[in-house]
Amino acid sequence: MSLSLADVEKVARLARLAMNEQEIQAAQTQLNSIFGLIAEMQAVDTTGIAPMSHAQDLAQRLRQDVVTETNQREAFQAIAPQVEQGLYLVPQVIE
């Protein structure tokens, strides 16, 4: 299979990456060459094989439901692109 220009455009939108027409075309060629490599997988019979999502077969560790983080708002906001009165500023989203 191969990705159409429309597929690539859709993926770029889902991934929140602004791309112009030229970039979409270049990405299409490269992604199709990478998916050519990935296609080798499809011929493998994996009937009855359980997917391996992780290197260790362990259950998630649980902890007490207590506060473990200290408030570091000032340190964190000191490196933000735009803050005002302790809030992160972004373009208006609600009219």
Where do contacts with another protein occur on this chain (CB under 8 A)?
Answer: 3, 7-8, 11-12, 14-19, 27, 30-31, 33-42, 44, 46, 49-56, 58, 60-61, 63, 72, 75-76, 78-82, 88, 90-93
Q: What is the torsional sign of CA 86, 88, 92, 95? A: negative
Q: What is the torsional sign of CA 71, 74, 75, 77? A: positive
CB 12 within 8 A of CB 31: no
CB of 16 to another protein, least distance (A): 5
CB of 85 to another protein, least distance (A): 16
